[in-house]
Chain A
Amino acid sequence: MIRLILHRLLVSIPLLLAVTLLTYVLDSFAPGDVAATLPQGQTSLKAYLALRHKLGLDQPVMQQYGHWLWRALHGDLGTSYFSGERVVNLLNQRLGVTLSIVVGVLIVCVSAGLLLGALSALRGGIVGRTIDILSIAGLAFPSFWVALILIEVFAVKLEWLPAIGYTSIFASPRLWLMSLVLPVLAVALHSITSIAKQTRDAMGEVMGRDFIRALRASGLSETSVIWKHGLRNAALPVVTVIGLVMISALGSTVFVERIFVLPGLGSLAVEAATNSDIALLQGATLYFTLIVIAINLAVDVSYGWLNPKVRT
């Protein structure tokens, strides 16, 4: 098990290097780099070159990347071209919001998805059909559209929850929770249906396997056969899907943070992209990649924990 975790961590290093290098090289081709950020009236060639030299942009790309990596390892991701603030500080301020949404989505969609999926596999009928319809709707409507509808219904019409904005958990846990409900729902709706559908398929497959009949024949109760043996085996393929669903949910935070005006990493990345703030965008990419690595690690660990063939 520990070997499994070490292996995943080891594999993550080239991933991290590749992602940062890729974005670094891509970004080095960005047109109009820092010149756009120079104050009016200073756009002389001399000033421009001086700034490029100061930022190290006149060096070869690989060398720049090496410097960036070296500083990154020491916790320094440079300064934002746009605001002049340290990138690490900007990112750290925003991390909590995005993590709150991701964890919220994880909790909601795993519990609801597994339950609904298992129920529909066993019952079929109305539950199954409802999940079918929901999963089609969950797939078809963009998460930002769903977010807008949620705002319209729960914030504008019913006035139950705040439409936009974020309250820190330290300021008021209750308001923090309320500010998260709609964003989490908007993202989770899509994820719940994916997980429920996967659970249903996996459960349907597992319940048809030979050992289920053998367990029943040995005299075990239906409850034990379904919830102990059935769900445990069905969970294996589902865990992998949960990982993929969470990575795609992470992408959805970009939209949802923008709509609900939440100060998270996603909205920061969009700002950085619109302003061509390369240093900030690189930092944001690094943070997103780190979250993905954490998700993959969690998937591996739970998979190993659930599957004795991997563990032993």
Chain B
Amino acid sequence: MSLQAASGALPAAAPASLLRRLLGRPLAALALLWLSLVLIASLLARLIAPYDPLDQDLLAMRQGPTPAHWLGTDALGRDLLSRLLYGGLPALTGIVEALAVAGLLGVGIGVTAGFYRGRYDRLIVQAVDLVMSLPAIVVLLSILSIFHNSMFAAMISVGLLGSVGIIRVVRSATLAVGSELYIEAARIAGLSDFAIITRHVIARIAGTIIVQLSLFAAVVVLIQTGISFLGLGVPPPAPSWGGMIFDASSVLNNDAFMLVPPGVTVALTVLAFALIGDGLRDALAERWMQRGAGKVAAAGGTAVSLSGPRRAPDLEAVLSLRGLVIHAQGREQPLVNGLDFDLMAGETLGIVGESGSGKTLSVLATIGLLPSGTVVSSGQMLVAGKSYDLSDPRHLSVLRGKVLGMIFQEPMAALDPCFTIGTHLTEVLRARGGLSRGAARARAIELLREVKINDPEDVARRYPHQISGGMAQRVGIARALALRPLVLIADEPTTALDVTVQAEILDLMRGLAASSHMAMLLVTHDWGVVADICDRALVLYRGTCIETAPVAQIFSAPQHAYTAALLRANPHNALPGTELPTVADVWQQQALVP
């Protein structure tokens, strides 16, 4: 009772709309049309076929298409269209048989193995590996010689053999879903395994299952045709698609057209099966994939825009940015809207903002590495005495490494797992620094020592997965400094690290910046980090700079209400246990448009 009660709480999507969504996709609609056509024509072959498929007309042998025989005749004068229609049923029956076996076994075993893991799963994996290594066609030949020419036996075997492929995919999809937190939450909520499997796992991987089954159906068509091509399963003279291709092959020299009707029919059917899966998956996902429709803007949706006279680039600055505008492709609203800043020699400038403020995009734009789908619409950068147009990222690659070095938020993900730490450094030193192999090697060790790694020779030989996150960030810094850049850009460099490690990394960065008189551009959301290492801070809100000032001033006397609200929202500054002032309140109280 309670089960139904729960599902009643949800407004289920109307079942009819799935077909409509499917038909809304041209390729899927065509595939569905073709399959329905084949199905109906095969079922009605007796009624609609113009001739008996075995009738020989020795006066009309090997004719191409004629008004009497639309698709022509074969070497015995049999009507090709009629044979094609009659050949449809064994093919479709075979698909249904194989698909039923493979689907039941594949999904059943795959889901349970992935869900329960442990010994049962290991056993299944072994068995799957074993069957995967069977040369399927040879096994089928054995089956066909035992169950003499039984297409049914062959198709059941195809289903058995094919089920392992589906088990494999369904199992790994289930494994991935099984480690999701919502499965754990459902378990904690007291759902039974059966309920979790049907409601959460299968619902989540339905798309994968459908695509696998449809691809398998496509393969079954090919195998069924192949078996009848070999004269097994559907023994001649009974009509079959594969048999028709074999008939055509025996008269290849005289009449190649005979290859066309069965070949094209098979190909279109295979194609239709392959395509309909994709269509079904997408149509199913459409319901829950649509994004953001209900998203409430965090700050009352007021667009912030700052306009004023744009200052000329500061010639004293190491890096001077003017009028940076970044758009998502095809969107009107800019992600970064007219950002200016100057970074002075030896200075550390913090770019502070919450998610979606455009802080990371802004620094990525300076080295021309914006993610695909985002573009710089306009922006000028003055660095190392030269001016660069940021909307043309091709010219920016010369700056990378030599003028602007960069470190990233996920230090481990920033290293190529296939190469050693040493290689990461030497390849840069050799390619851009012009060092020889030996010199690069020595310099790499020196760099690792500079970032306070105790046993640099040992670390250089290791692969990324063999070092810790803090160590990986030190390596990242060493690589960024390899070519002695003027500016170090750090994108949330300590966010992924433990607080004790963060302190060490920040100490290291502060020390390196001071000793080499290097300027730093630090992107962060953490006001503690800003207070610790920055000289000046720039507060970004929705792509617009709302305030920039020396850190002492930002913290003691923030000019903008948003900055003040953010600082107040930090529990560090609140009395424990009290209600924290939230930023949304501020936007609501005073419709803040600077």
Residues of A within 8 A of B (CB): 11, 14-15, 18-19, 23, 26-27, 29-32, 136-137, 139-142, 144-145, 148-149, 151-152, 156, 208-211, 213-222, 224, 228-229, 232-233, 244, 247-248, 250-252, 254-255, 258-259, 266, 269-270, 272-274, 276, 278, 281, 284-285, 288-289, 291-293, 296, 306-309, 312
Contact = CB atoms under 8 A, between A and B. Distances in A.
A137 B266 CA distance: 11
A258 B249 CA distance: 11
Contact of A141 (B263, B416, B465): B263
Which secondary structure characterizes the binding site on chain A?
helix
A193 to B, nearest CB: 12
B586 interface: no
Given A23-B142, A141-B267, A292 B245 contact: no
A299 B80 CA distance: 45
A139 B130 CA distance: 25
Nearest to A12: B133
B413 A210 contact: yes
B130 A229 contact: no
A144 B245 contact: yes
Interface in B367-426: 367, 369, 372, 397, 400-402, 404-406, 408, 410, 413-420, 424
B245 A312 contact: no
B148 A31 contact: yes
Interface string B138-165: 1101111110100000000000000000
Contact of A229 (B141, B402, B416): B416
Which 8 interchain pairs have the tightest Cβ spacing?
Answer: A219-B401, A214-B414, A273-B141, A210-B413, A251-B137, A288-B135, A140-B267, A217-B406
Nearest to A207: B372
Given A216-B400, A224-B431, A141 B479 contact: no
Interface in B219-274: 222, 225-226, 229-232, 242, 245, 248-249, 252-253, 256, 259, 263, 266-268, 270-271, 274
A11 B136 CA distance: 20
B248 A148 contact: yes
Given A141-B263, A251-B136, A308-B463, 20 more contacts: A11-B129, A137-B267, A140-B274, A142-B245, A144-B249, A145-B263, A149-B259, A149-B263, A156-B256, A213-B369, A217-B369, A217-B405, A218-B401, A218-B424, A219-B432, A220-B428, A229-B418, A274-B232, A289-B134, A309-B463
A220 B141 contact: no
Nearest to A220: B431
Contacts of A232: 416, 418
Contacts of A289: 133-135
Contacts of A26: 142-143, 146
Interface in B474-507: 476, 479-480, 482-483
Nearest to B415: A211
Given A211-B416, A224-B427, A229-B419, A293 B133 contact: yes
A269 B245 contact: no
Interface of B: 129-130, 132-139, 141-146, 148, 218, 222, 225-226, 229-232, 242, 245, 248-249, 252-253, 256, 259, 263, 266-268, 270-271, 274, 364, 367, 369, 372, 397, 400-402, 404-406, 408, 410, 413-420, 424, 427-428, 431-432, 463, 465-466, 476, 479-480, 482-483
B416 A148 contact: no
Contacts of B137: 251-252, 254, 266
B402 A219 contact: yes
28 contacts: A136-B271, A140-B266, A140-B271, A141-B270, A142-B245, A144-B226, A149-B263, A156-B256, A213-B408, A214-B476, A214-B479, A217-B480, A218-B400, A219-B432, A220-B432, A221-B431, A224-B427, A229-B419, A251-B137, A273-B144, A273-B232, A281-B141, A292-B135, A293-B133, A307-B418, A308-B417, A308-B418, A309-B417
A211 B266 contact: no
A259 B231 CA distance: 13
Contact of A30 (B138, B146, B367, B369): B146
A250 B410 CA distance: 44
B479 to A, nearest CB: 5
B416 A215 contact: yes
B142 A142 contact: no
Q: Which of B230, B417, B418, B432 has the most CB of A within 10 A?
A: B418
Contacts of A269: 138, 141
For B266, B427, B483, the residue with the greatest tally of chain A CB atoms inside 10 Å of its CB is B427
Contacts of B404: 217
A210 B427 contact: no
A96 to B, nearest CB: 18
Contacts of B465: 308-309
A285 B518 CA distance: 69
Given A15-B130, A308-B465, A156 B143 contact: no
Nearest to A311: B463
A267 to B, nearest CB: 10
B401 A136 contact: no
Contacts of A285: 135, 138-139, 142
Question: Most chain-B Cβ atoms within 10 A of its Cβ — which of A32, A273, A291?
Answer: A273
Given A23-B142, A218-B482, A285-B135, A142 B229 contact: yes
A145 B245 contact: yes
Contacts of A137: 267
A34 to B, nearest CB: 13
A140 B432 CA distance: 48
Contact of B226 (A14, A149, A222, A255): A255
B408 A210 contact: yes
A160 to B, nearest CB: 16
Nearest to B400: A219
B274 to A, nearest CB: 6
A255 B404 CA distance: 60
Given A144-B245, A269-B138, A156 B417 contact: no
Contacts of B143: 26
Contacts of B132: 244, 247
Contacts of A18: 130
A158 B442 CA distance: 62
Nearest to A24: B142
B133 A148 contact: no
A221 to B, nearest CB: 6
Contacts of B271: 136, 139-140
B322 to A, nearest CB: 22
- B138, B141, B222, B432 — which one has the most chain A CB atoms within 10 A of its CB? B138
Contacts of A312: 463, 466
A264 to B, nearest CB: 12
B352 to A, nearest CB: 22
B263 A23 contact: no
Contacts of A145: 245, 259, 263, 266-267
B138 A251 contact: yes
Contacts of A278: 145
A247 B165 CA distance: 13
A292 B139 CA distance: 13
A152 B258 CA distance: 12
Contact of B480 (A32, A210, A218, A220): A218
A31 B274 contact: no
A140 B417 contact: no
A156 B253 contact: yes
A247 B48 CA distance: 41
A14 B130 CA distance: 9
